[in-house]
């Protein structure tokens, strides 16, 4: 086979850049704070029910996740370039649409559905081509770098959004973001290229690694018959939902103690979010995906539980807790694509990870929506924190008993022969 120039880092940086634009989702708490201020002031600009403030965000998470299934199929069958361009156009259109209306239904359609679809296509296009250029031993690290952009985006979007909202208003700010991200994503999409069919990284050439990776290729139907899929799905749903519940409300939590500087907490959470993706990816390459998941789920449970004892005026503690929650949440976005690749292979990675990623959407829809209802009716998020902490512990237990399909088959075979051989 003719020697192929490895452009893996170029593809990785393009994917990182695309996610830096698409990560506008994590700045939702800044937008929600502006909408809430309008509602409570009764200025007539945003005439929404307080219990429905998280609805566009929750719908966006759900649409984003389920779009990943179809976007992943297009990425697998056609190309990541086409998938990313579709994502850039849909994201831009969604943001431009809400620039022209403050109605709740317009934000559901624009921010929730159109942008949610755009994020699904854009996100599905970034990670698969990048990890295909690298050896299996670096899957976690590369996946972590690519998806770090999505988490890191709030570092610049949060202060920029606060500045734009203060100076030109929320609607015009959405127009600026819509046009900018449409252009940026479509340009960076041109650098997303898959390696040629049968490509093996030089580090794996002549070893058994490449052969093993090639042999483990589950179709979506085969994956859905594996218990590993359902265990990963449950863990992802809990872990993502708990994290998104806090991310979607953190600016409001910080406003009492920090005023107009509440965006600082959003930005610091974003730094934690991004670093968690990279560091967890590297750690999981060494100690395994499920062991890393167990550690991060327990830590997340403890940090969210600690919010019960932190007052909004305790700025330092709030910033520290928000950064830790962002860090632990971010780990999921490198651990689950890495586990999907390890367990089910690269051939159908786009659609297979899309199916797993629906858990992120379901969790992101249910947890923020339920927590907002709890706050609206009890005037306190404490019950939501207790529920989330308990579910995270349950997810950690499931992580401990999660094995790859190959390990599941081996375990079943050992159970089958044990009685016959007299083993106990």
Q: 420 lies in a domain?
A: no
Instruction: Name the residue range of residue 186's domain.
Output: 14-194+218-415
Tokens read off for 133: 């250029």
User: How many angstroms separate the CA atoms of 260 and 258, rounded?
Assistant: 6
Q: 200 lies in a domain?
A: no
* Each residue's pLDDT tens digit, 23-49: 888 788 889 888 988 888 877 788 888
Q: 208 lies in a domain?
A: no
Checking phi first, is residue 422 left (phi over 0); if not, alpha (psi -120 to 50) or beta?
A: left
- Residues 111 and 94: beta-carbon distance below 8 Å: yes
User: How many angstroms separate the CA atoms of 297 and 238, rounded?
Assistant: 9
User: How many angstroms separate the CA atoms of 176 and 245, rounded?
Assistant: 27
Q: Is the pLDDT of residue 185 over 90?
A: yes
CATH code: domain of residue 185? 1.20.1250.20
Q: 204 lies in a domain?
A: no
* Each residue's pLDDT tens digit, 273-331: 888 888 888 898 889 888 999 999 999 999 999 988 987 677 788 888 888 988 898 89
Closest CA to 153 of 265, 244, 17: 17
Number of domains observed in the structure of the chain: 1
To the nearest whole percent, how much of the chain has pLDDT over 70? 88
Work out the average pLDDT over 212-222: 73
DSSP-assigned letter for residue 314: -
Q: 203 lies in a domain?
A: no
Q: 201 lies in a domain?
A: no
Q: 67 lies in a domain?
A: yes
| Residue 45 three-state SS | coil
Q: 423 lies in a domain?
A: no
Contacts of 9 (CB under 8 A, 6+ apart): none
């Amino acid at each position: 086979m003719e020697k192929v120039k490895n452009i893996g880092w170029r593809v990785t940086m393009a994917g990182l850049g695309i996610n830096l634009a698409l990560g506008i989702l994590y700045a939702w708490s800044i937008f929600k704070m502006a909408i809430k201020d309008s509602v409570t002031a009764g200025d007539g600009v945003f005439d929404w029910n307080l219990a429905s403030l998280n609805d566009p965000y929750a719908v966006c998470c759900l649409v984003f996740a389920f779009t990943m299934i179809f976007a992943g199929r297009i990425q697998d069958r056609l190309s990541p370039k086409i998938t990313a361009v579709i994502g850039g156009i849909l994201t831009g259109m969604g943001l431009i649409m809400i620039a022209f209306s403050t109605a709740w239904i317009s934000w559901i359609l624009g921010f929730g559905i159109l942008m949610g679809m755009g994020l699904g296509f854009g996100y599905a296009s970034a990670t698969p081509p990048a990890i295909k250029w690298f050896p299996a031993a670096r899957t976690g690290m590369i996946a972590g770098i690519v998806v770090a952009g999505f988490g890191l985006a709030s570092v610049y979007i949060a202060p920029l959004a606060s500045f734009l909202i203060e100076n030109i208003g929320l609607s015009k700010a959405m127009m600026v973001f819509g046009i900018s991200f449409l252009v940026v994503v479509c340009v960076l999409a041109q650098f997303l290229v898959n390696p040629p069919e049968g490509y093996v990284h030089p580090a794996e050439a002549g070893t058994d690694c490449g052969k093993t990776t090639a042999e483990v290729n589950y179709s979506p139907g085969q994956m859905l018959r594996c218990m590993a899929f359902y265990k990963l799905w449950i863990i992802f749903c809990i872990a993502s939902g708990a994290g998104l519940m806090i991310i979607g409300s953190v600016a409001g939590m910080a406003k009492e103690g920090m005023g107009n500087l509440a965006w600082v907490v959003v930005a610091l959470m974003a730094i934690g979010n991004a670093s968690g993706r990279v560091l967890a990816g590297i750690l999981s390459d060494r100690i395994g995906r499920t062991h890393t998941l167990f550690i991060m789920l327990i830590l997340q449970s403890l940090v969210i539980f600690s919010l019960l004892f932190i007052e909004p005026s305790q700025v330092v503690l709030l910033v520290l807790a928000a950064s830790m929650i962002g860090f632990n949440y971010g780990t999921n976005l490198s651990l689950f694509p890495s586990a999907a690749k390890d367990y089910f292979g690269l051939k159908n990675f786009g659609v297979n990870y899309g199916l797993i990623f629906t858990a992120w959407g379901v969790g992101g829809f249910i947890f923020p929506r339920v927590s907002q209802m709890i706050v609206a009716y009890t005037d306190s998020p404490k019950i939501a924190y207790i529920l989330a902490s308990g579910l995270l512990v349950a997810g950690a237990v499931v992580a401990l008993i999660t094995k790859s399909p190959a390990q599941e088959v081996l375990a079943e075979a050992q159970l089958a022969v044990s009685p016959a051989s007299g083993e106990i």
